[in-house]
Copies of this chain bind each other. A is one copy, B any other.
Amino acid sequence: MCEANAYIIRDGEEELVMEAVDKIEPEDDGLRLVNVFGDQKFLHARIDALSLVNHKIFLKE
């Protein structure tokens, strides 16, 4: 599997918002995250950066 953990960057700190993320899709004025277990989360954020070998997705509000 090739999932990654999603972090929101707030005040320069990484805050974990969802583990094992498979899909991220734009929705309204934010993002819908879906993990490999089928859990979903909506966030008012955008995808800022990726570091996939480290399994990290960085979001910003």
Contacts and interface: CB of A to CB of B under 8 A. Distances in A.
Nearest to A52: B2
A22 interface: yes
Contacts of A2: 2, 4, 52-53, 55
B22 A49 contact: no
Interface size for chain A: under 10, 10 to 19, 20 to 34, or 35 or more residues?
A: 20 to 34
- Counted per complex, copies of this chain come to 2
Q: Give 5 closest A-B pairs by Cβ, nearest first.
A: A47-B47, A24-B50, A2-B2, A22-B53, A25-B49
Interface of A: 1-4, 21-26, 36, 46-53, 55, 57
A30 to B, nearest CB: 13
B26 A52 contact: no
